[in-house]
Structure 1
Amino acid sequence: MTRTRLSLCLSVFIALSSSAAFAGDDVSKVNGSITVEDGQTRGDLDTVNGSIRIGDNAAVDEAKTVNGSINVGSGSRAKRLETVNGSIRAGTKLTASGGLETVNGGIFVDRGGRLGGDVSTVNGSIGLVATELNGGIDTVNGDVTVGIDSHVTGGIKYTKPTGNFTFQKRDPIVIVGPNARVDGPLVFERSVKLYVHSSAKTGAIRGATAIAFTGATPPAQ
């Protein structure tokens, strides 16, 4: 299947899956973690102070927390994952019809992920492995890896910080890995180190100069 046909199939799937909620009870807390066991189905998950864990082959609607991480097992489905202070980590074959968002924390999606919205963070790294992202990557401060065989349709953007924002000590590292593809523009409003594999494809690059590499990983820093 070509990349174009794969993206079209993903878009159709997302449109269908977003039209109806998963048939499950909502779970809401103020203080405490939420766990969805393997194979279970739930509606919206919402907590303020606590983490959210979604097991393998489970299905939920939106999962949101303020102070806590979100961990999703393999083969699971969700509409949107969102936290403020915490990371988001997903196992293989995650299907999310919406986006993944955090403010202070990293985001990682393992092989076979299919995402229908933007992936964004302010302070934290972003990593995709063999993942189809029908959206863009937005960040301010943190590394980004569009890993092997990943496809991002909406580009990458580093936004220039405002106010009293504190940078990390070094420039962020951005990697577009082997056989990866970023269709949209790569826009950098701050200094970064950009590495693009010789087998990768990208849109227009603004604000950075790409450094080509040929191995499995870029040269050691």
Structure 2
Amino acid sequence: MMMRPALPFASVLVLALLLSPMTHAATKVLGPGENADVGSRSVRVPAGVVAGNIDTGSGSVLLEAGAGTGNIDTGSGGVELAAGASAGNIDTGSGGVRLGNDSSAGRIDTGSGGVRMGDGVRTADIDTGSGGVRGGERVQIAGGVDTGSGSVKLGRGSEVSGKIDTGSGSIQLSGTRVGGDLDSGSGDVELIDSEMRGDLKTTAGNIDLQGATVIGGDLLVRKSRCFGWCWGDDKKTRITIGAGVRVLGQIRAEREVELWVHDSAQIGPVSGAEARRYSAERP
């Protein structure tokens, strides 16, 4: 009987090195109550399973429908929660976060990753370095939203108990309630049928208020905070206050603006600008 020649040691070593990354990169599947600290491997929590805390260096995390975990921390990996899943705080260095319909999470903090939320999602504070925040209808945020340059968009029935602050990102709210201030920096603001208790502030962004929108505080257009010539200094800010809108506080302009107010809108005292009235659908 002929014996097959053994593989040379060098060949065995090469084969082991080739297989090692495949084994190392295999997704870790968690069981009930199980924690994970897996470096660069991805993690999956099966449907209906409630696992512990998850920590990955760069691996992604997936919670299937109805699954749950404690806190999730990834260096750069993305995090996805399917419909009805729940997690504690979510912290990513640059990974994006996706939350399916009726899912929930604690505080969400990303370095530059975006946050996407379906209908009926519930979270605590959301803080992104430059990522955008986009939500469907009936999103409940128990806290504030803070982005460095990312845009914010929320659908009808949504509520933010704190403030919304973007450095240069745009803000679009439809049928949304905001408990604090709204500050867009240089981003445009569009509010439709929305209500906010605090002040609406911008430096260079255009403001468009429509429908049954109510601003409980002041509307302030700030002068530029930089020295010398600044980007956007030569752009006149346009403010449109549409039919039925109410601004309960003052309208104060510290730089040149174009202010249009519908005949049926209600506004407080105006300083630094001249209110131009109009009666058509748009000025």
Q: TM-score per shorter chain, which class?
A: 0.7 to 0.9
1:167 and 2:232 correspond: yes
Who is 1:153 aligned against? 197
Q: Which runs of 4+ in 1 moved over 6 A?
A: none
**Structure 2 counterpart of 1:163, one-letter code:** C
Question: Aligned ranges for residues 174-185 of structure 1 at < 5 Å?
Answer: 174-177=239-242, 179-185=244-250
Who is 2:58 aligned against? none
* CA positional deviation for 1:175: 4.5
Question: Aligned ranges for residues 89-168 of structure 1 at < 5 Å?
Answer: 89-147=134-192, 149-158=193-202, 159-163=222-226, 166-167=231-232
In 2 relative to 1, CA 124–40 (structure 1 residues): closer, same or farther, beyond 3 Å?
Answer: same
CA contact (8 A) 1:30 1:49 kept: yes
**Structure 1 counterpart of 2:85, one-letter code:** Q
* CA positional deviation for 1:89: 0.8
CA contact (8 A) 2:224 2:233 kept: no
CA contact (8 A) 2:128 2:148 kept: yes
Residue 105 of structure 2 is aligned with which of 60, 77, 89?
60
Identity of aligned residues (%): 29
* CA displacement 1:5-64 (0-9 Å, x = unmatched): xxxxxxxxxxxxxxxxxx841111111211121111111111111211111101111111
- Which of structures 1 and 2 has the larger relative contact order (alpha carbons within 8 angstroms, sep 6+)? 1
SS in 2 for 1:127: strand
CA contact (8 A) 1:142 1:173 kept: no
* CA positional deviation for 1:182: 4.5
**Structure 2 counterpart of 1:55, one-letter code:** G
Who is 1:30 aligned against? 75
Who is 1:40 aligned against? 85
* CA displacement 1:157-213 (0-9 Å, x = unmatched): 124443375228744444455555454544444444444555554555444444555
* CA positional deviation for 1:102: 0.7
CA contact (8 A) 1:123 1:140 kept: yes
Q: In 2, distance between residues paired with 1:74 and 1:112?
A: 10
Counting matched residue pairs gives 195
In 2 relative to 1, CA 30–184 (structure 1 residues): closer, same or farther, beyond 3 Å?
Answer: farther
In 2 relative to 1, CA 194–93 (structure 1 residues): closer, same or farther, beyond 3 Å?
Answer: farther
